Amino acid sequence: MILFAVAVSPLLCAMGVVQILGLVAAGMTRLSEGTRHERICQWLLVLALATVGGLCGFALQFGPASAAVCAVTLTLMTMITVFDPGRSI
């Protein structure tokens, strides 16, 4: 068995953790709809959206792929909180 050593930047790992936490915040906001925790989760989501949005600009220095991943995360966060298939148009 051959093991390959891959050097991953701690900064890129931190960026990934921030994006995962952003997705978790979006999910929490969606799940807390109608509960007493809704307002706290909404403010947490606003903070997470601002953080991931700023991260998109910061990620440009690592190349277009990193910025694209951040942009997709930001889009998914928005879609999780906005899209509601149960409501009729």
What pLDDT digit, counting tens, does each position of 14-39 carry?
999 999 999 999 999 999 989 999 99
Statement: residue 9 has pLDDT above 90: no
Considering only CA atoms, which of 31, 41, 30, 33 is closest in space to residue 79?
30
Give domain status of residue 46, yes or no. Answer: yes
Give domain status of residue 5, yes or no. Answer: no
Give me the pLDDT at residue 38, please.
93
Give domain status of residue 1, yes or no. Answer: no
Give pTM, 2 decimals: 0.84
> How many domains does the structure of the chain reveal?
1
Give domain status of residue 27, yes or no. Answer: yes
d(CA 37, CA 34): 8
Range of the domain at 33: 13-82
